Amino acid sequence: MAELFDFVATNRAESRSVLGPSPWDEVTEAHIAGWSARRVRFARPPTLNDDHYVDDRALAQITAALPLLGLPRGEQMAITRGDGTEITASGFGDPQAMRMILLQILTGRRLSEIRTAAFDCLTPAPTPAQLVDAGADESEVVRFRYAQSKIDGAPDSILVDREVAAVIEEQQRWVREHYPQFEQPRFLFLARKANLTGVKPYSSGTYARWLRAFSDIVAIADSRGRGVRLSHTHRFRHTRLTRLAELGLPITVLQRYAGHATPTMSMHYIARRQEHDEQAFLATAKLRADGTSVQFGRDDHDVLHLFDRADRMLPHGWCLLPPLQSCDKGNACLTCSVFVTDDTHRDALQRQLDDTEKLIEQTTTAFARRHGRAMPEDNVWLAQRRAERDALRRLLATLPDRPDRAVQGAGCGAAAAPGPVPLTLHRRDPREATS
């Protein structure tokens, strides 16, 4: 209407010849402005943004290297960085920080809600009668009370499984062992210094400093090669809520779990991942050639991609990289964190180890015969073959301990073997040099 009035006021002669003189001759700027004010402006929908989402590849790197935070100082462990290189790093000696970030990942709570949680934060959860009659363990689910202080009247507890409860109980035992003078500690995570009475929670500054140093060492990268800084721990809250939403939880349940006052705030935390949108679309009902309905789910979509991507099924194991993501490691599967194998591939792994050792021996011998000197230790080909040989040895040594479970590549969590580059942890705070 505003555009119509504008045209009539601008082209009065033409309008009079078509519409007649009245009432169009009386159209003024006021009529145009009146209709312009009634325009409905639709907000532009947010673009696809998953900057706050931590994908599976980055989470696998974080959890694999997380024991480094709790490892005592002076001890070392082998870790795999985001670029696939394997190094040996010294422990931080702070198991509290290790458990804090683990709880943030598993529960999606804010840092303040974990850091200042009460010591006695676990209570039994009522188990439905039908589950008890079926023989379910009543201790499988417990209630976790966190320190909710951001929103008045918002919930301050959630139900958690035994995995979360085990982390909390381990922290409680650690506090009782290291601080026996506190009969009843106030907080689950206690300050390391200047806390004689045990009434101070773990310092947020110390936590942030450890995570920055941890990020520098591990150099975590997601499936797109982007760096993931652990100093921004709020992204674990976005990730947890996004995964719950993608599982199909109603918005009311999601709002209750997040402790938000409105559903709008809960939706703000859900990352719009293009990968999930495509899979959700493909999960809708399809029709066969004869017109009958066919159910096509996410698993079927992944299987089709697996058939298209034959590199996911390897002669000596499997690649767990999501189907929609591409691999940038070439054939360096043995040193990759998403490569897994099991006892059924033992013979293939042993043959590959024997062939690799023979290849190393034959090539180094031929090099010495040809050049009159031994092959240098920093030779690129030799370093890669030795890395594969060491990975195969660790895999074969780990398989007997886990006959019924898959074993992850890139070190298997075993002790460091010859080859990784030693790395010394330098503290950022010079005042800690004397502690």
- Reported as a single tens digit per residue, the pLDDT across 107-141 is 999 999 999 999 999 998 876 654 455 454 556 78
Question: Distance between CA 103 and CA 228 in Å, rounded?
Answer: 18
Per-residue model confidence as pLDDT tens digits over 185-226: 899 999 988 888 888 999 999 999 999 999 999 998 888 888
Question: Distance between CA 172 and CA 41 in Å, rounded?
Answer: 55
pLDDT-derived band of residue 325, with 50, 70 and 90 as boundaries? Answer: low
- Give me the chain's average pLDDT, please: 78
CA dihedral over 330, 334, 340, 346, signed as positive or negative: positive
Question: Distance between CA 99 and CA 69 in Å, rounded?
Answer: 9
Per-residue model confidence as pLDDT tens digits over 395-406: 888 888 777 777
Q: Span 102-110, mean pLDDT? A: 92
Measured between alpha carbons, how far apart are the two ends of the chain, in Å? 76
Question: Distance between CA 340 and CA 408 in Å, rounded?
Answer: 4
* Residue 265 in this model has a pLDDT that exceeds 50: yes
pLDDT-derived band of residue 304, with 50, 70 and 90 as boundaries? Answer: very low
Size (the chain), residues = 435
pLDDT of residue 417: 38
221 phi/psi in degrees, rounded to 5: -135, 145
Burial 176-185, CB ≥16 within 10 A → b, else e: eeeeeebeeb
Per-residue model confidence as pLDDT tens digits over 76-97: 999 888 888 889 999 999 999 9
The CATH class given to the 56-126+137-272 domain equals mainly alpha
What percent of the chain is modeled with pLDDT above 70? 74
pLDDT of residue 343: 80
pLDDT of residue 48: 42
Which amino acid is it at 346? R
Using alpha carbons, select from 163, 130, 125 the residue that is nearest to residue 142: 125
* Residue 104 in this model has a pLDDT that exceeds 50: yes
Question: Distance between CA 111 and CA 97 in Å, rounded?
Answer: 11
Question: Distance between CA 10 and CA 32 in Å, rounded?
Answer: 11
Neighbours of 13 (CB within 10 A): 7
Output the six-digit token pair for 418. Answer: 């010859």
Question: Distance between CA 265 and CA 404 in Å, rounded?
Answer: 43
Asked whether the bond before 128 is cis by omega within 30 degrees of 0, the reply is no
